[in-house]
Amino acid sequence: MYTENNTQSQDIVCKVPVTEEEAFKILDEIFTLEEKRMAIEETKEEFTANEHFELGMWIRNNWIYPPEDANNDTVERYMKCYAMLTGTKPDEPMLEHPDSVSGEFLGRYYDHLKESVHVNDPAIPVRRKPVKCPHCGSKVLRIQYGYPGHEMMEAAERGEILLGGCCISPDSPDYGCPTCGQSFIKTVFYDR
């Protein structure tokens, strides 16, 4: 799920976030929707404990320790990131050992997932396919059911459809958001 990165290239350095928003965005791209779904089914305590040596380790290796040949700007970016993770100011001395700093941040990321992931929410009734997801603004996709053949797999990989699995029932959702997992069910409304 995570790759440990010891490469000291510029683009890795640039990925060190200095705001919480940047940090959440990077992590949201690393986690798949399924992983997010599993994460929010854990309690915050379980999540932070289980991710201590997983995501926590990845954060420490990638965002806290500047590469040995880092220049001043790079070190400054790592220090700002450290401050963001610990909720301190960049000019404050590093009081906590880097190995323990990610715990509290993992809790904040868990809260963010709880707020932004809607995969367990009930399907929203709609008359037709919504263009955009009301939560996150992503393009809503049609959910296709049945055992996926070659064509269906390719369409899913291109981000054109979502795979709904083999079982379909009257309350299976028709559309879904690929980013936050909100589902939608087509309902016929009888006016007049």
**Residue 161 Cβ vs Zn ion, minimum distance, rounded to whole Å:** 16
Q: Which residues bind Zn ion (CB under 5 A)?
A: 133, 135-136, 138, 177, 179-180, 182
Q: Residue 101 or residue 161: which is nearer to Zn ion going by CB?
A: 161
* Alpha carbon distances (Å) from 95 to 23, 37, 174: 21, 34, 52
Please answer whether residues 138 and 96 qualify as being in contact, where contact means their C-beta atoms are separated by less than 8 angstroms. Answer: no
Q: Residue 121 or residue 154: which is nearer to Zn ion going by CB?
A: 121
- Which residues, in sequence order, are CB contacts of 13 under 8 Å at separation 6+? 67, 70, 74, 77
**Residue 185 Cβ vs Zn ion, minimum distance, rounded to whole Å:** 15
Place of tokens 């049945």: 146
**Residue 133 Cβ vs Zn ion, minimum distance, rounded to whole Å:** 3
**Residue 107 Cβ vs Zn ion, minimum distance, rounded to whole Å:** 23
Q: Residue 62 or residue 179: which is nearer to Zn ion going by CB?
A: 179
**Residue 122 Cβ vs Zn ion, minimum distance, rounded to whole Å:** 14
Please answer whether residues 85 and 62 qualify as being in contact, where contact means their C-beta atoms are separated by less than 8 angstroms. Answer: no
Q: d(Cα 190, Cα 56) in Å, to the nearest integer?
A: 52
Which of 82, 182, 87, 88 has the alpha carbon at shortest distance from 137?
Answer: 182
Q: Residue 15 or residue 132: which is nearer to Zn ion going by CB?
A: 132
Q: Residue 27 or residue 81: which is nearer to Zn ion going by CB?
A: 27
111 residue type, one letter: D
Q: Residue 21 or residue 54: which is nearer to Zn ion going by CB?
A: 21
Per DSSP, what are the bridge partners of residue 139? 132
**Residue 124 Cβ vs Zn ion, minimum distance, rounded to whole Å:** 11
Place of tokens 């960049």: 90
